[in-house]
């Protein structure tokens, strides 16, 4: 990652204005790096090494990392292993629901290049085409020590303000959306309005909009409320 | 989606509603989902929504060499991978009329029982966590890790060992391994009392699990239930005893049964099997040093290994139930067709759907974890 990073949004304002705001940012990052909530979503077989990493033996909690069950309160999305196309949809929906700043860690070789399932018809091979990834932990599967080392590296990145993948998602939304559309079809849409969020955060970049977001807006349709699709036999009166 | 585009549909007033249970849910084992329809908090219908972990194993295996598939098969069931390797190796051995040397068979049984111990400890941990008893989860996973250490020493891999292959196992046991395994078994056996006090005699667990997800023996047989779930309904059927493979006919062990068929009974069966696995491992530790011989027979060049044409159906008892491989060969260097008959495909889809009906919403997780289903094996 380059040192000459674009200073955007709230940071730009802080630079111009109050110097104390900078101190506050650092303090925020310091605290943020020490209380991370990891989304409890086992997407693949690498999840089997997370219970050992979380529980008594390796004890992730001493780093301030705990599992969290709702995406809206979680900071880290662990993509543990291969992502089938059906799971990838849920991963993207989950990721977009998480509140920024959010971090994605790809665990196992399968998230890097497809791993063992390089010829499978059912899996998405390269995770970073669909979501911005902060860190990869390679291995099949990585040991709990490797998972913890990866999380510590992420903590260092957060403290040094290097873990910025969530900004990349807003700034290059067109790229990610294009890959998602090529996999899920042209009418792919999620309940989250990423463009409006990018505008709100002041993260609209020159690559945020493009031909894929134009396609998205063309296909935009009202979200249907959840319908009862199960047929239940009539009860005798 | 713009908020202004959202139009809520109005429904007729009803106390029935539909809920997506999973895949991102702490009460679901792995990446799996249920769509439940509820009246109040009673489930009136449940539909399994599988396929989140589908990788197309059976198709992938048709494109790889006989020996390459050894690296693929343990991925089918992540918490209990060893029976997959052993069962596939046994199938290929049957096709190619090979027989693993006796010492290799003892080592395989040792691995299978270690894997069963690890899988059962993991299963209790998961089930306890759904009941709110987190201590048991922490202990169970930590004790399972000690078994994984022994796996690592024996095979080089913590979870996936890739240690069995058609014709035997890769290496002999390391020096001093059996003593360390014996020490581990002593520790685990002393630990069982703690687990009893913490979990199996705990009123929180007993009251939550009793009469939840109960099935009769006839239902279990009709739905294709096997393994500990079947034995919890009172039928003493165990592939290890009733259709012995490897050297199980030379070992002494009891087939544990319970009568009630509910979530509590299923857990008590697994609790009894921990003891039996320790007993089997003790016999192996005692008798393995006296078993002579190599640990593998020579196999043809794996890159040009054409298995004779034929088909075979081989079954073993995994920690989840009866696991079988149906392998068809047309005489090529790759399988023509492999079908995995996994126990969880029945437990997590049909049985879970049937047992959930009438249960309360909070008991669905109890039922799923007590069935000890393994989602990657359902989807494959």
Burial (Cβ within 10 Å: 0-12, 13-18, ≥19) of residue B286: exposed
User: Is A133:A150 a contact under the CB 8 Å cutoff?
Assistant: no
- The answer to whether the Cβ–Cβ distance between A41 and B158 falls below 8 Å is no
Tell me the backbone φ, ψ of residue A228, rounded to 5 degrees.
Answer: -80, 105
Question: CATH topology for B53-379?
Answer: Cytochrome-c3 Hydrogenase; chain B (1.10.645)
pLDDT tens digits, one per residue of A135-188 = 899 888 888 999 999 999 999 988 888 888 888 888 888 888 888 888 888 888
Provide the token pair at A194.
């990423």
Percent of chain A at pLDDT > 90 equals: 5
Round the average pLDDT of chain B to a whole number and report it. Answer: 87
Q: Is the pLDDT of residue B75 over 70?
A: yes
Q: Any chain A CB within 8 A of the CB of B313?
A: no
What would the mean pLDDT of B119-139 be, rounded to a whole number?
Answer: 86
Q: Does A213 touch chain B (CB under 8 A)?
A: no
d(CA B339, CA A3): 53
If one compares B186 and A191, the residue with the highest pLDDT of the two is B186
Both tokens assigned to B297: 């027979």
**Other C-beta atoms lying within 10 Å of the C-beta of residue B377:** 27
pLDDT band at B281 (very low <50, low <70, confident <90, very high): very high
Q: What is the pLDDT of residue B113?
A: 92
Residues near A141 by beta carbon (within 8 Å), at least 6 away in sequence:
A45, A46, A48, A49, A81, A107, A108, B159, B160
**A65: nearest Cα among A40, A41, A35:** A35
Q: Which of residues 76-115 of B touch A (CB under 8 A)?
A: 78-79
pLDDT at B187: 93
**pLDDT tier for residue A3 given thresholds of 50, 70 and 90:** very low
As a whole number, mean pLDDT of residues A204-224 equals 77
Please state, as a whole number, how many other Cβ atoms lie within 10 Å of the Cβ of residue A145.
Answer: 12
For residue B63, pLDDT beyond 90: no
Q: Does the beta-carbon distance from A220 to B60 stay under 8 Å?
A: no
Percent residues over pLDDT 70 in chain B: 96
Q: Is the pLDDT of residue A229 over 60?
A: no
Asked whether the beta carbons of residue B24 and residue A40 sit closer than 8 angstroms, the reply is yes
The answer to whether B27 touches B365, Cβ cutoff 8 Å, is yes
Q: Cβ of A71 under 8 Å from any chain B Cβ?
A: yes
When mean pLDDT is compared across A181-195, B15-29, B58-72, B120-134, the lowest value belongs to B15-29
Inform me whether the pLDDT recorded for B304 exceeds 70: yes
Nearest CA-CA partner of B258 in B246, B248, B243, B273: B273
> Is A1 near chain B, with CB under 8 Å?
no
ipTM over 0.85: no
SS3 B314: strand
Largest CA distance in chain A: 73
Domain range summary for chain B, segments of one domain joined by +:
53-379
For residue B285, the model assigns a pLDDT of: 92
What pLDDT does residue B280 have?
92
Residues of chain B neighbouring A117 (CB-CB closer than 8 A): 55-56, 60
Q: Of A55, A119, A140, which is closest to B141 when you measure between CB atoms?
A: A55
| Structure letter (DSSP) for residue A150 | H
Distance (Å) from the alpha carbon of B24 to chain A's nearest alpha carbon: 5
- Residue B5 to residue A117, Cβ atoms within 8 A: no
**Given this model, what pLDDT does residue B38 score?**
85
Interface test with A, best of B19, B33, B38, B55 (most A CBs within 10 A): B55
Please report residues of B whose CB lies closer than 8 A to that of A55: 137-138, 141-142
Task: Among A38, A55, A218, pick the best mutation site for testing chain B contact (most B Cβ within 10 A).
Answer: A55
pLDDT classification of A228: cutoffs 50, 70, 90: very low
**Which chain A residue is nearest to residue B141, measuring alpha carbons?**
A52
Query: Nearest C-alpha of chain A: how many angstroms from B293?
Result: 33
As beta bridge partners, residue B35 has B20, B47
Residue B336 neighbours by CB distance under 10 Å: 14
Residue B26's alpha-carbon distances to A33, A70, B30, B132, B365, in angstroms, are: 24, 9, 9, 11, 9
Chain A contact present for B7, CB below 8 A: yes
In chain A, residues 83-102 whose CB comes closer than 8 Å to chain B:
84, 86-87, 90, 94
**Cβ contact B9–A224 (<8 Å):** yes
B188/B211 Cα distance (integer angstroms): 29
Residue B275 Cα distances to B121, B138, B268, B370, angstroms: 12, 20, 11, 19
Which numeric CATH code is attached to A35-163? Answer: 3.40.50.12280
Q: Which two tokens stand for residue A22?
A: 């900078």
Residue A4: is its pLDDT beyond 50?
no
pLDDT at B184: 93
Q: Kindly indicate the confidence band of residue A120, based on its pLDDT and cuts at 50, 70 and 90.
A: confident
Mean pLDDT in residue range A96-115: 88
Residue (of B150, B156, B140) closest to B185 by Cα position? B150
> Can you tell me the distance from the alpha carbon of A88 to that of A94, in angstroms, rounded to the nearest whole number?
10
Distances (CA, A) of A34 to A50, A90, A152: 19, 27, 10
pLDDT exceeds cutoff 90 at B358: no
Task: Check CB contact under 8 Å for B53 and A44.
Answer: yes
- For B187-214, the pLDDT digits (tens) are 999 999 988 888 888 888 898 888 888 8
Partners of residue A188 on adjacent β-strands:
none
Contact across the interface for A122 and B56, Cβ inside 8 Å:
yes
Q: Do B26 and A40 touch (CB under 8 A)?
A: yes
Helix spans in chain A (H): 9-16, 19-34, 50-54, 85-97, 109-113, 144-159, 165-171, 173-184, 194-201, 211-219
- How far is C-alpha B82 from the geometric centre of its chain's CA atoms? 9
Contact B45 A232 (CB under 8 A): yes
Among B33, B13, B17, smallest CA distance to A226 is for B17
| Phi, psi dihedrals of residue B45, rounded to the nearest 5° | -155, 145
* pLDDT at residue number B50: 83
Domain spans of chain A, in order of start: 35-163, 164-220
The whole-number pLDDT of residue A2 equals 42
């Amino acid at each position: 990652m380059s040192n000459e990073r674009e200073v955007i949004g709230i940071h730009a304002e802080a630079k111009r204005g109050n110097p104390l705001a900078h101190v506050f940012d650092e303090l925020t990052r310091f605290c943020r790096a020490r209380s991370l909530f990891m989304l409890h979503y086992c997407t693949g077989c690498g999840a089997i090494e997370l219970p050992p990493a979380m529980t008594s033996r390796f004890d992730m909690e001493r780093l301030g990392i705990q599992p969290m069950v709702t995406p809206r309160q979680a900071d880290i999305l662990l993509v543990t292993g291969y992502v089938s196309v059906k799971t990838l949809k849920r991963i993207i929906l989950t990721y977009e629901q998480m509140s920024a700043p959010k971090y994605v860690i790809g665990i196992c070789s399968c998230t890097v290049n497809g791993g063992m399932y390089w010829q499978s018809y059912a899996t998405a091979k390269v995770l970073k085409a669909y979501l911005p990834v902060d860190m990869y932990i390679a291995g099949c599967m990585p040991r709990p020590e490797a998972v913890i080392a990866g999380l510590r590296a992420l903590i260092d990145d957060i403290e040094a303000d290097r873990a910025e993948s969530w900004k990349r998602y807003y700034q290059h939304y067109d790229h990610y959306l294009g890959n998602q559309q090529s996999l899920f079809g042209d009418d792919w849409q999620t309940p989250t309005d990423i463009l409006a969020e990018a505008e709100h955060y002041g993260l609209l970049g020159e690559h945020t909009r493009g031909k894929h977001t134009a396609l998205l807006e063309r296909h935009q349709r009202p979200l249907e409320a959840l319908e009862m699709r199960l047929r239940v036999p009539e009860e005798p009166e | 989606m713009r908020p202004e585009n959202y139009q809520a549909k109005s429904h007729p007033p009803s106390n029935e509603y539909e809920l997506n249970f999973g895949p991102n849910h702490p009460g679901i084992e792995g990446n799996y989902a249920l769509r439940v329809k509820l009246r109040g908090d009673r489930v009136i219908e449940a539909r399994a929504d599988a396929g989140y972990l589908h990788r197309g194993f059976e198709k992938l295996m048709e494109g790889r060499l006989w020996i390459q598939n050894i690296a693929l098969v343990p991925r089918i069931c992540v918490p209990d991978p060893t029976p997959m390797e052993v069962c596939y190796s046994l199938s290929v051995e049957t096709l190619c009329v090979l027989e693993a040397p006796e010492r290799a068979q003892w080592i395989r049984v040792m691995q299978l029982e270690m894997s069963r111990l690890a899988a059962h400890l993991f299963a209790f941990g998961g089930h306890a966590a759904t009941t709110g008893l987190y201590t048991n989860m922490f202990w169970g996973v930590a004790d399972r890790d000690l078994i994984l250490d022994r796996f690592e020493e024996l095979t080089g891999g913590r979870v996936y060992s890739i240690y069995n292959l058609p014709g035997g196992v890769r290496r002999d046991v390391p020096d001093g391994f059996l003593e360390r395994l014996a020490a581990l078994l002593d520790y685990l056996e002393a630990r069982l009392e703690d687990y009893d006090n913490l979990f199996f005699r705990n009123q929180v667990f007993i009251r939550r699990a009793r009469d939840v997800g109960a099935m009769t023996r006839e239902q279990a047989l009709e739905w294709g239930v096997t393994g500990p779930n079947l034995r919890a309904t009172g039928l003493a059927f165990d592939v290890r005893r009733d259709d012995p493979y490897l050297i199980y006919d030379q070992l002494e062990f009891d087939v544990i049964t319970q009568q009630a068929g509910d979530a509590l009974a299923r857990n008590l069966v697994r609790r009894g099997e921990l003891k039996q696995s320790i007993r089997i491992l003790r016999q192996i530790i005692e008798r393995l040093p006296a078993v002579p011989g190599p640990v593998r027979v020579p196999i043809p060049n794996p890159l040009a290994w054409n298995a004779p044409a034929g088909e075979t159906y081989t079954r073993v008892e995994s920690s989840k139930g009866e696991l079988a491989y149906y392998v068809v060969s047309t005489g090529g260097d790759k399988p023509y067709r492999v079908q995995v008959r996994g126990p969880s495909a029945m437990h997590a889809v049909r049985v879970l759907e049937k047992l959930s009906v009438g249960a309360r919403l909070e008991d669905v997780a109890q039922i799923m974890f007590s069935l000890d289903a393994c989602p990657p094996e359902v989807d494959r």
